[in-house]
Amino acid sequence: MKPIRLLSGFVTVGMWTMLSRILGFLRDAMILAWLGTGPAYEAYVVAFRLPNMFRRFFAEGAFNMAFVPMFSKRYEADEDAPGFAAQAFAGLASVLLVLTLLAQVAMPWLVLGLASGFAGQEQFPLSVEFGRIAFPYILFISLAALLSGVLNAMGRFAAAAAAPVLLNVLLIGGMAGAAWLGTDVARALVWTIPVAGIAQLALVWTAARRAGFTMPLRRPRWTPEMARLVRVAIPAALAGGVVQVNLLVGQQVASYFDHAVGWLFAADRLYQLPLGVVGIAIGVVLLPDLSRRLKAGDEAGSRDALSRAAEVSLGLTIPAAVALVVVPLPLVSVLFERGATTADDSAAISLAVMIYGLGLPAFVMQKILQPLYFAREDTRSPFNYALVAMVVNALVAVGLAPFIGWIAAAIGTTIAGWAMVVQLALGVRPMGKVARFDARFHKRIWRILAAAAIMGGVLWAAMALLSPFFGMAGWRYAALATLIMIGMISYFGIGQLLGAFQLAQYRRALSRRG
């Protein structure tokens, strides 16, 4: 079997994703400082979410969940994997071109579908204008996602993981340039989005060529391989659609409350940091690895890969979730409160961050359990589970909104996340031992929980001691850095003493990352 080093691959993806998320924080802080949480910001949120929603629906959600296992198995068995990828690329490009043209015509209705509360307000025409500019991003980033899947299946993770870094660098540069020139920052930001998509596609295209994988352009053809890919992809697309419906429900609820769309978006960016670095990174590495191990009949290796992925990801996610629940206000106020963003905005965003933090382990567990289904080309089961989660989300978000307001959207997202995990965990039982965590995982998970709980107490005490410094302009960044360092040192120190993990493992992964 052609090897993929699971932990070192995870570290590679995680480090690039960490850099991307840090730059994303800088990007969002700049946006909030210049735009606040008013109409232009809310229009940008809707415009940027539109292509990203369809990207997850078509590329990362549907197409890649079907494409990566099929490509990985062909690559493992030397069954013309390049030809299969070229056919898939041509078919996806054709669908995306048609979708992009249709979206330009239907943009007012798409905006109403995402935020009907904007109707008759200043945000609506801005959202339509920004949406038409930003939507072509889906064409470039979805094709880049397919090429990223090719690179990941080959065990080459760096270029695909670096692509989001390029996006954030260009967006930051576009805003800074507009501010320096004295032009409209919001429009410069939106126009940079499709430009960044072209740059990301060029990056992974070049990386694939350097890896010896050429992607010849050809006209789309309906072949037995494409027919099978579509049969597997349709349930995955529907599952991805359900997830996007959950986001849509939350945004619809928020659009009826002033500033709530912006609050939820900012909170989403904060909890996406650990989710992206840990959950998405481990999912990117685990799916091709499991697919190739199953093709090779390596059940013991599959179980070990699953258990180590869960052990590492939860070992990093659970303390992050505790931190988001215990100290959300210092994080939000230091990162976002400046310029047009006020203390009231920080308080609202912090509440959403705390609730999303409660769901963070569930969101990561989904990334661990779903590859067990996708590696077997089973996309129907996750779709059925996602339908149930969608109903749960809608009932909670819409049902509670009249009583508790906009925050019902965040509560619905978190509860739906846990509902999805329960179904996924029950659904893998018939798969046998290969889908069960091993004894080492069961031994360590309780120690991870204990170390995270102790760290939470330490963070709470440290926050109380440092609280005067968070209000001082010259000291707030140093205070937050100190709080973060205290949390990291206490968790990793206590975890090492309790035997929750071995830090030498991470050092070895870092040393062989190249």
Is residue 468 scored above 90 in pLDDT?
Answer: no
- pLDDT of 1 reads 43
| Chain segment 197-243, per-residue pLDDT in tens | 999 999 988 888 887 777 777 777 777 777 777 777 777 666 655 65
Is residue 3 scored above 70 in pLDDT?
Answer: no
Of the listed ranges 42-51, 441-450, 488-497, the least confidently predicted one is: 42-51
Mean pLDDT on 116-141: 85
- pLDDT of 513 reads 45
Give me the percent of the chain exceeding a pLDDT of 70: 84
| Chain segment 143-192, per-residue pLDDT in tens | 888 888 788 777 777 777 788 888 889 999 988 888 888 888 888 888 99
| Chain segment 309-367, per-residue pLDDT in tens | 888 888 888 999 999 999 998 888 887 777 667 788 888 999 999 999 999 999 888 88
Between 322 and 292, name the one with better pLDDT: 322
- Is the separation of the CB atoms in 495 and 451 below 8 Å? yes
- pLDDT of 512 reads 46
Residues in the chain: 514
- Is the separation of the CB atoms in 249 and 405 below 8 Å? no
Mean pLDDT on 464-484: 85
Model confidence band, residue 4 (pLDDT cutoffs 50, 70, 90): very low
Long-range contacts of 202-208 (CB under 8 A, 24+ apart): 203/144, 203/159, 203/162, 203/163, 203/166, 204/144, 204/147, 204/148, 204/151, 204/159, 204/160, 204/163, 205/144, 205/147, 206/159, 207/147, 207/151, 207/156, 207/158, 207/159, 207/160, 208/147, 208/150, 208/151
Structure tokens at 73: 């198995």
Mean pLDDT of the chain: 80
Structure tokens at 125: 């025409």
Between 54 and 304, name the one with better pLDDT: 304
Give me the percent of the chain exceeding a pLDDT of 90: 20
Burial class (CB in 10 A: 0-12, 13-18, 19+), 12: buried
- pLDDT of 509 reads 47
- pLDDT of 369 reads 85
What are the two backbone dihedrals, phi and then psi, of residue 240, each rounded to the nearest 5 degrees?
-60, -35
- pLDDT of 514 reads 42
Is residue 289 scored above 70 in pLDDT?
Answer: no
Structure tokens at 189: 């930001």
Query: Integer distance in angstroms from the first to the last C-alpha of the chain?
Result: 20
| Chain segment 12-34, per-residue pLDDT in tens | 666 777 787 788 778 877 887 77
